[in-house]
Structure 1
């Protein structure tokens, strides 16, 4: 009977534990399905089912209970030669990479075949034409129907005849303006006309967007050089493009610029915005914006979807938010730096970034909350000009109160220093820091408890916590392997939680923490240290026991 009772209690505790768990992943969002029927052919269209975590979504098409397409990424599917005078039912299943699904149903009927198909003629742009613009490009056509039925059109454009993308549906005009295309590229277009019963597809025509290339680096320093650039109409710079010491406030002369093969450097200008760059789409180097005293945001850079190298935003006095770079990709392949932008208080636009393959350096800004909710890895092992490793470096942000990176699992290094109002650090998912965790001189930080899963399983990993005036508790319960530890000059430190610590390779020092008297969480490690002839050095604290005293547990606290 006693064993049965214990089993029931254990089962109840496991059930409670499972009830307390939460699901962090969510299924794709709801979406809608429409159909276009032409004779006995049907095209099924659906809106994109976005995933809350930004994961890739694929689709499965079900028709009359039969799966007819799986794992497709496009949002349309065409079925030909269906039976006339028949009703069909089906569904689209959106599935994320973790297998969570969202379903939307549809139905349609194929009528009788009794209609003369409409006809269509493409008028312009001509096949093979090179057009001398890449914005506001107009396509024209003419549709005709023998029964004079109202006509609607579908507009398709793409980089090849086999990959046309729908741009307009149920469209009634006989012209369509494309606001923007990439220079130097060839595009193909096709119009479908529908009279309510039958669809007719036009021929496919192709055209090329002009490109004017400047080979090498290009720099503009004054309005006269800006006028020359405007008159030349360059669409591509193969090297670096620099706007430096430019005193005018107008950058409209840059609107032809579409591609930069190197870095974009904007330094010491009087520009109030970056709207002259509104057609810049492709940039293969760094984006460096520094010492521009009048820029308040980054509007004008919206077309840039990927920065191939680094993002450096430095010492722009009036820059208050990062609006304008909201379309950059989930992965940053270079370094990311926001340094001494004395008005920068909002960095929320960067919340979707998942991976930074360089360093992340945030210093001297006016942000109060630093949130990267989707950032998973910062991999850069880079040294600054005095050979200090950077990794994640968050220092001297005078108004910063909270650092929240809940999805971060791995970093090359983390430095959190001299943020005088900082009270909270949340990095609960991080397991590995390859080099160093340094938390120093954060005057209002009372507890280090945001690293609950940090194991520190690198032999190069070191921990330094010093000069945090109000720090009362250090809770790093999962660390088991580390190269060295220094805990120093934390005036109010009373508790250290390193319960799972097993191995310190080089040194372990606890120095000059005025009220520290309890070392009992280190007792298990102290036993290992004695066996390996290592010491926990304690000096200048309220209580300074030897390693042997800590190991006995009787002398681990005052």
Structure 2
């Protein structure tokens, strides 16, 4: 009985233990299910779009086991950017360009159960505007009208343009794809640079070498009003193939300013400035080359010739005549060639002539009838004159310097001046034709002619130089091709300087020696009876 009870008790105890163990498993299982059942389900984050500063993300939906509403919070670099939002997208703005970022999205249920989904991205580089190109470049003599295609920014930022010409900024922050470069020179190649820039300062550059038109005006041109000068100047021509005439002899003119035609550098024909009384200055002229004659005549308002500083060549006659108020001619120091004669005539108030320091070629130099002219200091680069050296009727002229380098002249005329000597001819060796010194009341000596050896085919003539007493200075003269004339030199008594010349003298015409203080014959001079 005891054993049986013990066995029953054992069975009962085992069953109790098993029941307790099974109950524990159930409770544990339920507890485990209760712990997971409140957490939102897994979800994924997608990076939808990435730019240099903005990134958009979205994520799949997370579900709550109890069907409760899920909210989302967005974190980037451990900083919360959005809290408990319902929509499943978010855009990050104002990010750092080309930068790596980590972040995550938290799904919340009302019991604060959470599920986390991670993401990462790298912002892109801020790219410059797209390449662009010229569509047209229309030149004139003085401008370039330029058009180009639009430069597109990859980030859709606004694009503006800075424009340069020869590395000089001309315009900035231009919003249109067109610009006219103005105030240019004709026949000139310009380096044009267009810089497209976005808001971040990124740039794309377009460079082109563009040339203005040749600036050549074909034919003759007449300008008789200031309006015509102004209008033509705006066209920017640099060369006239024909004649350029500003002549008001038979027409009214109101021209006062020539600076608008500064661009004209070359006139292949004649250039005439004539009878323009209101013109007080040539300032602003840019002329360098005149293919035929250059005449500045009868302009009573001119007081000087400033404005001819750039003149280099006149292949015909350069004539400055009857400008009644012209006081000074100076600073024409770029002039190198005068193909025919330089003539300065009848400018009755002209006082000084200076400069012409680079003139080395001229057929002749004529300075005549400038009654107020007292001083000439010019022409120091001239060594030879194929034509005349004519200094005549400058009745106040006392000083002539600058011609001391001339060695050869075709003909010489020094008449009606107040010059006291001829030292300005100190290097002269040869005169081909006439040598005529006449009516110089102040001429006291001619010792400046000591280098003269030859008068090739002309005559040696001294007329009415009332202060001249001696021919000293002609000792080296050994040839006179025609004859000699010494007439009316009321103080001339010494002819001994030409004694050697007379030894073999064979004149083409009879010599004339009379009305001097002493009037020897050729034989007298040859035999040494050359003075009294």
TM-score of the aligned structures, taking structure 2 as reference length: 0.61
CA contact 1:127–1:205 (8 Å) conserved in 2: no
Q: C-alpha separation between the residues in 2 aligned to 1:292 and 1:401?
A: 26
Cα shift at 1:274: 2.1
Aligned mates of 1:121, 1:424 — CA distance in 2: 74
Q: Alignment partner for residue 130 of structure 1, among 112, 124, 138?
A: 138
Q: Distance in 1 between matches of 2:340 and 2:173?
A: 50
Structure 2 counterpart of 1:374, from 342, 357, 361:
357
Given that 2:277 and 2:300 are in contact with CA atoms closer than 8 Å, whether structure 1 keeps it comes out as yes
Q: Are residues 1:345 and 2:347 paired?
A: no
Q: Does 1:362 align with 2:344?
A: yes
Q: Contact 1:368 / 1:402 at 8 angstroms: preserved in 2? A: yes
Alpha-carbon distance, 1:503 to partner: 0.7
Whole-angstrom distance in 1 between the partners of 2:242 and 2:394: 35
Distance 2:191 2:489 in 1: 73
Residue matched to 1:252: 230
- Equivalent residue number for residue 418 of structure 1: 393
Match of residue 430 from structure 1:
406
1:171: how far off?
A: 11
Q: Which residue in 2 is equivalent to 1:187?
A: 189
Counterpart in 2 of 1:529? 505
CA distance change for structure 1 residues 205 and 518 in 2, over 3 Å: closer, same or farther? same
- Structure 2 SS opposite 1:406: coil
Aligned: 1:292 with 2:266: no
Give the direction of change, closer, same or farther, for the CA distance of 1:139–1:527 in structure 2 (3 Å limit): farther
Out of 542, 546, 551, the residue aligned to residue 517 of structure 2 is: 542
Q: Deviations over 1:239-272 (max 9, x none)?
A: 110134x5x7774322225142111100112212
Report the Cα offset of residue 295 of structure 1.
0.5
Secondary structure of the residue that 1:550 maps to in structure 2? helix
Change (3 A) 1:498 1:210: closer
For residues 359 and 228 of structure 2, what CA distance do their matches in structure 1 show?
40
Classify the secondary structure of the residue corresponding to 1:524.
Answer: helix
SS in structure 1 of the partner of residue 219 of structure 2: coil
Partner of 1:491: 466
Alignment size in residue pairs: 371
Kept in 2: contact 1:337–1:362 (CA 8 A)? yes
Distance 1:251 1:356, change over 3 A: closer
Report whether the alignment pairs 1:312 with 2:300: no
After alignment, is 281-290 or 406-415 more displaced? 281-290
Q: Deviations over 1:482-539 (max 9, x none)?
A: 1211111111211222111011111111111111001111122122327x89975421
Q: Shift of the alpha carbon at 1:318? A: 0.5
Which residue does the alignment assign to 1:407? 381
The answer for unaligned runs of 5 or more in structure 1 is 1-118, 145-152, 157-166, 194-199, 212-234, 381-390
Q: Secondary structure at the match of 1:350?
A: coil
Cα deviation, residue 190, structure 1: 5.6
1:506 is paired with a residue whose SS is coil
**Contact 1:448–1:474 (Cα < 8 Å) also in 2:** yes
Alignment of 1:213-232 (within 5 A): none
Closer, same or farther in 2 for the Cα pair 1:323/1:137, shift >3 Å? farther
RMSD value, Cα: 3.8
Distance across 1 between alignment mates of 2:375 and 2:490: 26
The answer to whether structure 1 residue 334 and structure 2 residue 309 are counterparts is: no
Change beyond 3 A, Cα 1:527–1:133: closer
Assess if the C-alpha contact under 8 Å between 1:297 and 1:322 holds in 2: yes
Of structures 1 and 2, the larger Rg is shown by 2
Q: 1:448 to 1:122 in 2, by over 3 A?
A: farther
For residue 451 of structure 1, what is the aligned residue in structure 2? Answer: 425
Could you say which residue in structure 1 is the equivalent of 2:445? 473
- The aligned counterpart of 1:262 is 242
Q: Distance in 2 between matches of 1:355 and 1:120?
A: 57
CA distance in 2, matches of 1:542, 1:121: 99
Paired position in structure 1 for 2:484 = 508
Q: Return 309-318 or 403-412, whichever deviates more.
A: 403-412
Q: Distance in 1 between matches of 2:204 and 2:350?
A: 55
Residues 470 and 186 (structure 1 numbering): CA distance in 2 closer, same or farther, change over 3 Å?
A: closer
Deviations 1:22-51 (A, max 9, x none): xxxxxxxxxxxxxxxxxxxxxxxxxxxxxx
Structure 1 SS opposite 2:276: coil
207 and 378 in structure 1: CA distance in 2 versus 1, 3 angstrom threshold: closer
Deviation, structure 1 residue 438: 0.3
TM-score normalised to structure 1 length: 0.58
Instruction: Name the structure 2 match of 1:109.
Output: none
Aligned-pair CA distance for 1:545: 1.3
Which whole-Å CA distance do the structure 2 matches of 1:317 and 1:480 have between them?
A: 44
- Whether the 8 Å CA contact 2:436–2:460 is kept in 1: the answer is yes
Work out the CA distance in 2 between the residues paired with 1:515 and 1:440.
18
User: SS of 1:323's equivalent?
Assistant: coil
- Structure 1 residues 282 and 449: alpha-carbon distance in aligned structure 2, compared to 1, 3 A threshold: closer
For residues 115-157 of structure 1, the C-alpha deviation after alignment (integer angstroms, 9 at most, x for no partner) is xxxx999978x37511356158899999x9xxxxxxxx9977x
1:239 aligned residue (211, 216, 219) = 219
Q: Secondary structure at the match of 1:359?
A: strand
CA drift at 1:178: 6.5
On the 8 A contact 1:493/1:515 being kept in 2, the answer is yes
C-alpha contact 1:480 1:500 (8 A) present in aligned 2: yes
